[in-house]
Every structure is written in C-alpha cells, then in structure tokens.
Structure 1
Amino acid sequence: MNTLSISDLSVTRDTLHQRVAARLRELLIQGTLQPGAKLNERELCEILGVSRTPLREAIRLLAAEGMVVLEAGRGAFVPVLTREAIVGAFDVLASLEGLAGEQAAQRITDEELAELRALQHEMQAAFERRDLPTYYGLNARAHDLFSQAARNPVLREIWGQLNSRMHALRFRSNQDEKKWMHALNEHAQILAALQKHDAVAARQLLEQHLHRKRDAVLEHLATVYPKTAAQ
C-alpha cells in the first residue's frame, strides 16, 4: 500500500501557491489589478477559490519578483513605477536581451528555431484576430526562448527577475495597433537573424526592439497615468 510522504505534501502545497501566483500575474499583466491598488485578500480568495494561506504564499512570491509591494501593517499593493524607474529598467532589459540575442545566434538549436517559427505564425494569427492576451502569452514565450537559447544561466536569471516587473507595462502598451504590428514585424526580423546565426544583427535588433517598447510604454503611461509618467 502506497503512503503519502512529507515530500509529496510539500510538492502539492508548492504547486497550489505557484498556480495562484500564476493567476495573479495574469490579473496584474492584463490590468485587472491597477497600479496603486491594494490586493484585497478576501475578494481574491473568492475569485481564485483558495484559502488565505496559499494566497499569501503567492503574494510573497510575487513580492520577491517585484510584481507587488508589501507594506508593513497595510498589506500588498500593485507597484506604481516612476518614469525614471521604467526608463532604467527597459534600458537594462535592452542590454540583457541584446546579449541574449547575440549568444543565442551562436548557440540556438534547430528545435528552438522550429519553436520560434511556430510562435511567429501563432503571433501573426493572434494579431489578425486582435487577440491581445493570446498574443502576449506567445510573445512572452518567444522572449523567454531568446534567453534560454543564449545558454547563459546568469543572464537568464537576472533577465527573468527584471522582466517579470515589466510584464504588465509591456502588455498594455501593445494596445496601439500600429505599434503592435511594428513589434510583430520586429520579431520576424529577429527570427531571421537567429536563423542566419547573425549575432551582430540579433543583438542590434533586440536592443532596438526593447528601446521601442520602452518608448511605447512611456507614451501609453503619459495618456493613461499622466501624473506617474511625469515623475
């Protein structure tokens, strides 16, 4: 007769709070939880169908990623990023993704290239449907694959931590259709550079892609949150 070990219980518990964290990330990315908003534990427990323990574990996980802010005695809040912080974050991301593109061009596998081609087709289809949530998920996977293909664990770890903080802003700035189309075309160019194993082009294209994303985010914030954008 099989028995459930302590390690099995730990894995089950971890899986639950990670699932809750994943759902909270979606709410943050899609703007359901707005900058400055307090995370209401009772409401979130009802929405997610979980108790407070896994919810609080998930919130602590997101706080470690920089996606929420914990304030002693007050609770958890969606962070409000200043213009200076956004510019700084995207400038560092541009350098990190540029390096990832350069190294990926030298080390990417045929299987990874095939996956990127499939993602590009799916992103195109999502754009044609104007399905932004699906597009963003595919887009995020493509960028994750760039860092994975670089075969640089230190770069991937630092990039992952910083990129998680910018998820929500990257998603909402694509609501401008012309910028969305331009970003999709840039991904096609990045893919072409990786297929040619052109390290210089891959680096330049990814750096330019992130700088344009930075500018799109700032433009979006200036429209939606003028006070924040001016800080």
Structure 2
Amino acid sequence: MDDTSRIGAAPRRAGDDVIQVHARLRSMILDCTLEPGSKVTQAELSRLTDAGRTPLREALRMLQQEGLVKAELNKRITIAAFDLDKLDCTYAYRISIEAAAIRVTASLLSTAEFDELDRTLVDMGEAIERRDRDEFEGPHRRFHQMLVSHVQEGARARMAIDADWAERVRRFVMQGDQHSLARADAEHREILEACRARDGVRASRLLASHLARSAFYVAAQLEPTYDTILTRTALRMVLGDELAQTAK
C-alpha cells in the first residue's frame, strides 16, 4: 500500500480498540473509580475512555457477561454493586475447595515449582514496595494457582472462575485497608513455608484464614450487620471450632 492510499483516512482513536476499552473500564470498576451501584451513561463512559460507540457497546457487552455492569433500556449503565450473598457463597466454596486442594498439592510440589513460587513472592514484594496494585495482581494470581495445581483440571477451572470474580473483592480490600498488602505478603510466606515443610494441614488452615479475611472485611465495610454464615461455617470446618474462635 502506498502513502497516497492513506490520504484522508481518519486517525484511529485509542478508544477504538474493543480489548483496550474493555480493559480500561474493567480496571476502573475493579479499583472502584466507577463506584459499585453507581449509574453512568454511555456518553460519560465514552468520554472517560475516548471510545467510539461500537467498541464501547461491545466492551459493555463483555463486562455484562462478567457481571460487572447492568445495561438499562435508556442507555444508562449500572455498575454492579457487591452482592453479599454471592460473596458469602463464593468464599465459603473457595475456602472449602482450596483448603482441600492445597492439602493435596503441598506434598507434591517440585523443587522447580517452589522456585517459581519464590519468584512470585519477589514480584509481589516489588509491587508492594511501589504500591502498584495492578502489578501485584499477576504474580498474586499465579501464586494461588500454584498452591492448588496438583488437583483435577475441572477443579482448577472452577477455582479460576471464582478467583476471577474475587479480583474485585481483593481490589476493594486493598483500596480500603492500607495494611492489606503487607499482611497478605506475610500470610503468603507462611503458607509457602507450610507447603515447603510438606505440612498440608497447616497450609490448608493458613489458606482458609487468608481467604476468609477478605470476605469478612468487605461484608463489615458494606453492611456491618450482615452475617457471613457460610464463610464462617466453612472456616470452622477447616480450622476446627477452637482455632476458628481464635481466628475470629
């Protein structure tokens, strides 16, 4: 194609890439720049992302499939609020299945896998020092994936879906609790040391407590009287009644 064929062509706007628009809107929802439960118009979102009408509609369709937005007939968009019932159910399931999965995995991790887990801790530590929540997310997700990596593919797929949904919860916790990243780092190191010692029981208890803390924090911030009964019960099943009372 020669240069003359480009004469008169409209410049491409950054917001015309559907994937880019989706990623930017998703990030704004996850870090609560677009507040849970708030209503915005497509025109407002277009201005925020510099997106054309077609890529914006497609990006919103993708976000709606993820449960992050709800479209209304008048072209207004509702940013999905936190559903505390779903939070309770999801974290109860995560505690149950991930505690079982790490108990299996702890005795099967190889030297190479421990080396990779160590690298994820280093990457998370560097992100914490920079206070970069976006850079923290990648190695954090990889760390948790590896902790449950030696179970059936179907179980891993289900855990990955729940981890995707929980990203917004993690972001909310990180935004509201200035000590959350440092606390998470300490908990990750404890969990890894338990795995290194091939102590699956301790690793499962540490992981269960680590997961439950996020659910308890979000529920307490949004609706202090809400009873996370399933999460509490799942935690008690993993820890035992005596340890569960101590954790609380």
TM-score (norm 2): 0.70
Q: Distance in 2 between matches of 1:55 and 1:110?
A: 46
CA contact (8 A) 1:65 1:164 kept: no
Cα drift, residue 143 of structure 1: 2.4
Q: How does 1:1-231 map to 2 (within 5 A)?
A: 16-71=17-72, 75-147=76-148, 149-174=149-174, 175-222=176-223
Change (3 A) 1:151 1:21: farther
Bigger drift between 37-46 and 154-163 goes to 37-46
SS state of the match for residue 32, structure 1?
coil
**Contact kept? 2:106, 2:195, Cα under 8 Å:** yes
CA–CA distance in structure 2, aligned partners of residues 146 and 23 of structure 1: 29
SS across alignment from 1:177:
coil
Gaps in structure 1 of 5+ consecutive residues: 1-15
- Pairwise CA distance, 1:19: 4.1
Per-residue displacement from partner, 1:10-45 (whole Å, max 9, x unpaired)?
A: xxxxxx544433332211111111111235333333
Quickly say closer, same or farther: Cα 1:129–1:18, change in 2 above 3 A: closer
The letter for the 2-side match of 1:172 is F
Higher mean alpha-carbon deviation, 165-174 vs 50-59, is at 50-59
Structure of larger gyration radius: 2
Kindly provide the CA deviation profile for residues 128-147 of structure 1, in whole angstroms up to 9, marking residues without a partner as x. 44444433443233224434
Higher helix share: 1
Q: Which runs of 5+ in 2 are unaligned?
A: 1-16, 228-248
- Once residues 100 and 19 of structure 1 are traced to their aligned partners in structure 2, the CA distance between those partners, rounded to angstroms, is 35
State the alpha-carbon separation in 2 of the partners of residues 75 and 109 from structure 1: 51
1:24 and 1:142 mapped to 2: Cα distance?
Answer: 26
Give yes or no for contact 1:93–1:159 (8 Å, CA) kept in 2.
yes
Alpha-carbon distance in structure 2 between the residues aligned to 1:212 and 1:65: 24
The amino acid across from 1:83 in the alignment is L
CA separation of 1:19 and 1:143: change in aligned 2, threshold 3 A = farther
The answer on whether the counterparts of 1:173 and 1:220 sit within 8 Å (CA) in structure 2 is no
Deviations 1:66-118 (A, max 9, x none): 22234455554221124333222221222232233233324444443322211
What SS does the aligned partner of 2:121 have? helix
Letter in 2 for 1:146: L
* Higher mean displacement: 158-167 or 183-192: 158-167
Change (3 A) 1:195 1:48: farther
In 1, are the aligned partners of 2:42 and 2:75 still within 8 Å (CA)? Answer: no
Deviation at residue 206 of structure 1 after TM alignment: 1.3
Distance 2:222 2:69 in 1: 19
Asked whether the equivalents of residues 123 and 135 of structure 1 are also in contact (C-alpha less than 8 Å), the reply is: yes
| AA aligned opposite 1:91 | A
Percent of residue pairs identical: 29
SS of structure 1 residue aligned to 2:106: helix
Matched residue, 2:5: none
Once superposed, what is the RMSD of the aligned Cα atoms? 3.0
May I ask how many residue pairs the two structures share in their alignment?
Answer: 211
Q: TM-score, normalization: structure 1?
A: 0.74
Residues 114 and 22 of structure 1, relative CA distance in 2, 3 Å threshold = farther
